[in-house]
Amino acid sequence: MVSLKKQSHNRYQLIQRIVELSDSDSWREAKQEWCLVDVYRTQSLGECLCGHPIKEHCVLQNHENGNEAIVGSVCVKLYWFSVTLSFDVLELVG
Ligand SMILES: [Zn+2]
């Protein structure tokens, strides 16, 4: 096993936390339980589930158990809506 280099976006941490908040135990199924319910921008920095500081907060809600999670726009694009959704459009709404 290769040792993991520390990254500003910690994929393992994000995946682990999402799975913890989901009904499913597998990431592939767990990620499908989530939908984007809100997007907002703040002046002060928040924190993405991956540990990265964020200004654009994307609120995800699990439609199976009602849990909420906040991730940054980078991670939302990376894990959920890279193909189907343009974040720029959402930003105007938020
Ligand atoms: Zn992130």
* pLDDT tens digits, one per residue of 9-62: 677 899 999 999 999 999 989 999 999 999 999 999 999 999 999 999 999 999
Q: What is the reported pTM? A: 0.75
Radius of gyration (Cα) for the chain, nearest Å? 13
Burial class (CB in 10 A: 0-12, 13-18, 19+), 6: exposed
Residue 22 Cα distances to 26, 32, 40, 65, 79, angstroms: 9, 9, 23, 7, 15
Ligand 1 midpoint to CA 45 (Å):
13
What is the model's pLDDT at position 74? Answer: 87
Ligand 1 midpoint to CA 15 (Å):
10
Ligand 1 midpoint to CA 62 (Å):
17
Ligand 1 midpoint to CA 65 (Å):
22
pLDDT of 3 > 50? The answer is no
Ligand 1 midpoint to CA 2 (Å):
22
What is the model's pLDDT at position 6? Answer: 52
* pLDDT tens digits, one per residue of 80-91: 765 444 555 455
